[in-house]
């Protein structure tokens, strides 16, 4: 990887960078080959869809966009990454006694969400305007640990959000957005400590912080 | 018994466990020659001991017994890892380190499994544990007598102390002099502290809470051919450096050099018992799709708190219709997890908690029962440093999504994070049973039921308060706490007799004289300490008893593999 084509740091949706110019992939030369193989595969083409049906895809894509606020390109291919995980049964193995194993829980819960959406939009979740999709998700989350279509809503949320977060925050574009350098072997870190940075790390340029609390 | 020099030369460790010197000195992380020339046994060979599981308990047993001349075959359901080839410096890419076979979780507070509490392959969950290796306190061995809760062990702290010291030398453990429990020192000096540890120290100092750096099983100085830590922060993804201890590098190499066979990819499905003699005859297992049976004079089960009970419950016979060694309905019961809330504090400064190992600084100030508190027992506090996926899941678990989730995560470099370990009590209904569902071998999967008691909940609340106060005192703009669990122990506990335990003080089952259990499942209580060191020490003690005090010790075989040790250097 000596001859490197010039490229710019990508962030999901081309959001303005808090870490200007920070590009995880610019350091890929410093990664061990096994790790580089695993991480770089995420920025390459995704395998063919195998798990979700087209009807499920129509619900899952906008749901992931909603959870991760990805409404414009370039998108981290979260839907494709989750499809791959489920097709390959790369699950955590365990499931709640009152929910089936992950693949079936996905099938059931996407169907249930679409069913809810049909009460507002004739063609289901995919056809709902963004505001309606948001209000459907909010109403679902407001259920807390109540039952939703025979499943505990909080456990379905746990399923959806764990898969969504695992896909999105495993991607180098998301790392660019949050200032995380990704793989660190065999390089390691030489400057730990408060406000200490490595040469390849970039200072957060936020001046005054908005307190979300 | 002070066996180490502070400079880490560790000559006396080498004389009893040569593992660190058997690792490659230069490139590579696994001694390929030692593995390629490993002694192997036939299924029909009556080995002295077959061990089920090569994690903290099983690997320690294998090394001790092999050194004593026993012919040992140690089976593991997962792979024989090579850190260089098989592990990555990446969070999502490390999913294969976890036990992800199907399991069902139930109860009023079901405990998710997989990532943080179950391992797979040689080295077990110590491959991906943080690296904290505190001792239990003397009080942990008699919580019933002292506090009227939990259980008393059939052994006391003094019984385990020499084994703690031995294992601390073999890992080796680095840290400041330890003032809590039984005060002691560590063989290696403390590691430097990163931003996250500095925030903990700053907040705790302002509140007058004592902290210490360590104890972590990461070498800090020369120790055989182990490489120095590079502070890359991926301890939970398997240490590619060979700096953080796991049995894969601390005990397996010496076991191989002394003629033990490590047989990976071997899923044990039952322990067989001779109906005439009542003794265990060996284990049935599946390797590469073929069912096989390994004969053995001793069967030593070390599959950890979920798989050990599952295996015993599945090993039924006319003599044991309800599962092996389960005459008194104790197998699978008294399984414990620790309440492990994590508190994040967001600072104006950049903390960058991903730099340096997550295990850095601890406090055991709240470990013991506080007579003024409305609960018994206590908790410890330690730095933890979740990587981005885990961190985002924490927020999502609080119902945060969309733009707010993205915004919180853009603050990632500003967060510091502390974790507590709360001593949840052993309760009989927190247990493993067999579910109707089966795995790909057709074996029923484990159902793990967990429900907290009032004391557990009170401890979690108290720990949360203290952690939030510490981070606020350090200057955090905002604090938030995530509820979670960590670690597993119990499920086949030791007791004074067969009415109180599955195994005796030496880890021998009461029901079958040549069946031992030497993993975390034998622990009757868990303290507020990470269990790895105690599991290894209990196994080392059980091995010592088996070798030196057993009435049924098989004849020692000459250690012909000594030649092999010299050749492989």
pLDDT digits (tens, 9 = 90+) for B72-105: 999 999 999 999 999 999 999 999 999 999 999 9
pLDDT, tens only, A20-30: 999 999 999 99
pLDDT at A210 over 60: no
Report how far apart, in Å, the C-alpha atoms of B551 and of each of B547, B554, B555 are.
Answer: 9, 9, 11
Per-residue model confidence (pLDDT) at position B524: 98
B554: confidence class by pLDDT, cuts 50, 70, 90: low
Q: Is the pLDDT of residue A77 over 80?
A: yes
B356 contacts B233 by C-beta, under 8 angstroms? yes
DSSP, res B445: E
Average pLDDT in the A79-96 region? 96
Q: Which residue has the tokens 């294998």?
A: B62
Q: Quick one: pLDDT at residue B563?
A: 47
What is the mean pLDDT of the segment spanning B504-520?
98
- Does the distance separating the beta carbons of B478 and A213 come in below 8 Å? yes
Q: Which residues pair with B117 in a beta bridge?
A: none
Q: Residue B386 CA to chain centroid, in angstroms?
A: 19
Phi, psi of B463 (to 5 degrees): -65, -40
Please name the helix (run of DSSP H) or strand (run of DSSP E) that holds residue B431, with its range, or none.
strand B431-438
Asked if B113 lies within 8 A of A166 by C-beta distance, the reply is no
Check if the interface score ipTM surpasses 0.85: yes
Mean residue pLDDT across chain B: 94
**Least confident residue range of A29-43, B114-128, B383-397:** B114-128
Residue among A41, A57, A20, A70 nearest A177 (CA): A20
Mutate to test the interface with B, among A192, A205, A210 (most CBs of B within 10 A): A192
Predicted confidence at residue B567, as pLDDT, reads 43
- Mean pLDDT to the nearest integer, B532-558: 82
How far apart are alpha carbons A166 and A164 in whole angstroms? 6
What DSSP state is assigned to residue B96?
Answer: G
In a mutational test of the A interface, the residue from B78, B100, B353, B410 whose CB has the highest number of chain A CBs within 10 Å is B410
In this complex, how many residue pairs, one in chain A and one in chain B, have their CB atoms less than 8 Å apart?
203
| Structure tokens given for B502 | 């599955």
Q: Do the Cβ atoms of A185 and B232 come within 8 Å?
A: yes
Residue B5's pLDDT is what?
44
- Partner-chain residue, chosen from B113, B195, B199, that has the shortest CB–CB distance to A93: B113
pLDDT for the residue numbered B4 = 45
pLDDT of B552: 56
Residues 6+ apart with CB under 8 A from B405: A67, A68, A69, B392, B395, B396
- CB-based contact B396 A161, cutoff 8 Å: yes
End-to-end CA distance of chain A: 45
Q: Under DSSP, is residue B63 helix (H, G, I), strand (E, B) or coil? A: helix
* Average pLDDT estimate for A28-46: 96
Q: Please give the helix or strand (H or E) that residue B331 lies within, else none.
A: none
Is A193:B195 a contact under the CB 8 Å cutoff?
Answer: yes
User: How far apart are the C-alpha atoms of B142 and B348, rounded to whole Å?
Assistant: 45
Sign, Cα dihedral of A176, A182, A186, A187: positive
Once rounded to an integer, what is the mean pLDDT over residues B539-551? 90
φ/ψ (deg, to 5) at B264: -80, 180
Q: Is the pLDDT assigned to residue B8 strictly greater than 60?
A: no
Q: Are B89 and A31 in contact (CB under 8 A)?
A: yes
Q: Which of A35, A38, A92 sits opposite B115 (nearest CB)?
A: A92
pLDDT recorded at residue B551:
59
Q: Which of residues 84-113 of B touch A (CB under 8 A)?
A: 84-93, 95, 98-106, 110, 112-113
Cβ–Cβ gap B388/A180 under 8 Å: yes
Of chain B, the percentage scoring pLDDT greater than 90 comes to 92
CB of B172 within 8 Å of a chain A CB? The answer is no
Give the mean model confidence (pLDDT) for residues B19-30.
92
CB A54 within 8 A of CB B63: no
Query: Is the Cβ–Cβ distance between B401 and A67 less than 8 Å?
Result: yes
Residues of A in contact with B242 (CB under 8 A): none
What does the pLDDT average to over B550-559? 54
List, for residues A123-168, the tens digit of each pLDDT value: 999 999 999 999 999 999 999 999 999 999 999 999 999 999 999 9
Q: Which residue has the tokens 């119990």?
A: B490
Query: CA B385 to CA B464: how far, in whole Å?
Result: 17
Q: What is the mean pLDDT of residues B55-61?
A: 98
The DSSP call for residue B504 is -
Q: Which two tokens stand for residue B463?
A: 């720990």
Residues A3-20: tens digit of each pLDDT = 556 668 999 999 888 999
CA distance A34 to chain B (A): 6
- Going from N- to C-terminal start, the domains of chain A cover 54-86+94-168
Dump pLDDT digits (tens) for B337-372: 999 999 999 999 999 999 999 999 999 999 999 999
Both tokens of B351, joined, read 């903390």
Q: Looking at CA atoms only, how far is residue B141 from chain A in angstroms?
A: 32
pLDDT average, residue stretch A165-186: 97
Asked if B359 and B132 count as a contact pair (C-beta separation under 8 A), the reply is yes
Q: How far is CA B78 from the centre of its chain?
A: 16
Residues of B in contact with A176 (CB under 8 A): none
* Range of weakest confidence among A199-213, B152-166, B391-405: A199-213
| CB contacts, 8 Å: B412 with chain A | 178-180
Residue closest to B541 by CA, chosen among B57, B97, B198: B57
Q: Give the residue-averaged pLDDT of B216-241.
A: 95
- In this prediction, residues B459-486 reach a mean pLDDT of 97
Nearest to A97 among B104, B241, B389 (CB): B104
d(CA B45, CA B281): 12
* Segment 109-148 of chain B within 8 Å of chain A by CB: 110, 112-115
Query: Is residue B1 scored above 90 in pLDDT?
Result: no
% of chain B residues with pLDDT over 70: 95
A151-152 and A147-148 beta bridge pairing: antiparallel
* All domains in chain B, ordered by first residue: 45-567 (3.50.50.60)
State whether A67 and B401 contact (CB < 8 Å): yes
Contact between residue A10 and residue A74 where contact means Cβ atoms under 8 Å apart: yes
Q: What is the DSSP string of chain A?
A: --S--------GGGPPPSSTT--GGGGGGGB-HHHHHHHHGGGSPPPPP-SS-HHHHHHHHHHHHHHHT--SSSPP-HHHHHHHHHHTT-S-SEEETTS--HHHHHHHHHHHHHHHHHTTSTT-GGGS-HHHHHHHHHHHHHTTTSEETTEEHHHHHHHHHHHHHHHHTTSHHHHHHHT-----TBT--S--STT---TT-------S-----
Helix ranges, B142-251 (H): 143-147, 157-170, 195-207, 247-250
Residue B256 burial (10 A CB sphere; 0-12, 13-18, 19+):
buried
Task: State the pLDDT confidence band at B556, using cuts at 50, 70 and 90.
Answer: low
DSSP state of B65: H
């Amino acid at each position: 990887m000596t001859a490197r084509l010039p490229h710019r740091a990508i962030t999901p949706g081309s959001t303005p960078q808090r870490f200007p110019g920070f590009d995880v992939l610019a350091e890929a030369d410093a990664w061990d080959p096994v790790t580089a193989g695993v991480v770089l595969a995420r920025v390459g083409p995704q395998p063919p869809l195998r798990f979700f049906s087209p009807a499920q895809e129509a619900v899952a894509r906008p749901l992931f966009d909603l959870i991760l606020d990805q409404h414009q390109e370039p998108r981290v291919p979260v839907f494709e990454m989750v499809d791959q995980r489920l097709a390959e049964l790369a699950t955590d193995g365990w499931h709640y006694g009152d929910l089936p194993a992950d693949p079936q829980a996905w099938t059931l819960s996407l169907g249930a969400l679409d069913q809810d959406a049909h009460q507002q939009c004739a063609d289901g979740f995919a056809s709902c305007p963004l505001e309606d999709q948001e209000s459907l998700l909010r109403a679902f989350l407001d259920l807390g640990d109540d039952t939703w279509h025979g499943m505990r809503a909080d456990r379905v949320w746990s399923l959806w959000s764990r898969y969504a977060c695992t896909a999105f925050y495993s991607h180098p574009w998301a790392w660019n957005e949050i200032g995380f350098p990704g793989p660190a072997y065999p390089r390691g870190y030489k400057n730990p400590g408060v406000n200490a940075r490595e040469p390849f790390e970039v200072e957060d340029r936020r001046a005054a912080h908005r307190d979300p609390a | 018994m002070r066996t180490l020099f502070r400079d880490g030369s560790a000559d006396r460790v080498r004389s009893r466990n040569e593992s660190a010197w058997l690792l490659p000195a230069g490139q590579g992380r696994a001694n390929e020659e030692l593995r390629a020339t490993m002694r192997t046994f036939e299924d029909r060979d009556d080995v002295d001991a077959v061990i089920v599981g090569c994690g903290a308990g099983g690997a320690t047993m294998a090394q001790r017994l092999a050194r004593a001349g026993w012919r040992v075959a140690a089976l593991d359901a997962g792979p024989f890892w090579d850190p260089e080839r098989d592990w990555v410096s990446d969070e999502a890419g490390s999913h294969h380190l976890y036990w992800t076979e199907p399991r069902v979780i139930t109860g009023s507070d079901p405990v998710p499994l997989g990532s943080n509490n179950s391992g797979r392959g040689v080295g077990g969950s110590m491959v991906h544990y943080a690296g904290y290796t505190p001792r239990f306190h003397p009080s942990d061995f008699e919580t019933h007598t002292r506090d009227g809760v939990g259980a008393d062990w059939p052994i006391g702290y003094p019984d385990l102390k020499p084994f703690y010291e031995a294992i601390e030398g073999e890992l080796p453990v680095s840290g400041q002099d330890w003032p809590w429990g039984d005060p002691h020192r560590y063989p290696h000096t403390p590691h430097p502290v990163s931003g996250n540890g500095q925030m903990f120290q700053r907040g705790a100092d302002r509140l007058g809470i004592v902290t210490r750096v360590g104890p972590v099983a990461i070498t800090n100085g020369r120790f055989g051919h182990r490489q120095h830590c590079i502070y890359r922060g991926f301890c939970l993804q398997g240490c590619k450096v060979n700096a953080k201890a796991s049995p894969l590098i601390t005990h397996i190499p010496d076991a191989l050099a002394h003629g033990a066979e490590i047989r990976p990819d071997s899923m044990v499905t039952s322990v067989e018992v001779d109906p005439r003699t009542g003794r265990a005859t060996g284990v049935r297992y599946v390797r590469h799709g073929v069912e096989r049976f390994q004969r053995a004079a001793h069967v030593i089960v070390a599959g950890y708190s979920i798989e050990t009970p599952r295996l015993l419950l599945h090993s039924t016979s006319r003599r044991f219709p309800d599962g092996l060694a389960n005459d008194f309905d104790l197998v699978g019961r008294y399984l414990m997890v620790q309440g492990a809330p994590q508190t994040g504090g967001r600072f104006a400064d950049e903390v960058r908690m991903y730099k340096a190992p997550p295990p850095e600084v601890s406090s055991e100030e709240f470990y013991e029962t506080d007579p003024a508190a409305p609960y018994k027992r206590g908790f410890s506090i330690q730095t933890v440093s979740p990587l981005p996926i885990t961190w985002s899941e924490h927020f999502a678990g609080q119902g945060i999504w969309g733009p707010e989730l993205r915004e919180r995560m853009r603050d990632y470099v500003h967060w510091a994070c502390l974790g507590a370990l709360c001593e949840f009590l052993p309760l009989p209904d927190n247990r493993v049973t067999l579910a109707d569902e089966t795995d790909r071998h057709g074996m029923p999967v484990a159902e793990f039921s967990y429900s907290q008691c009032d004391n557990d909940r009170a401890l979690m609340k108290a720990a949360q308060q203290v952690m939030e106060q510490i981070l606020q005192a350090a200057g955090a703009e905002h604090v938030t706490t995530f509820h979670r669990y960590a670690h597993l122990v119990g499920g086949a506990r030791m007791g004074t007799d067969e009415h109180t335990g599955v195994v005796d003080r030496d880890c021998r089952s009461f029901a079958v004289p040549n069946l031992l259990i030497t993993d975390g499942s034998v622990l009757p209580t868990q303290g507020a300490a990470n269990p790895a060191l105690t599991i290894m020490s209990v196994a080392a003690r059980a091995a010592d008893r088996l070798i030196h005090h057993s009435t049924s010790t098989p004849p020692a075989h000459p250690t012909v593999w000594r030649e092999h040790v010299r050749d492989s250097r």
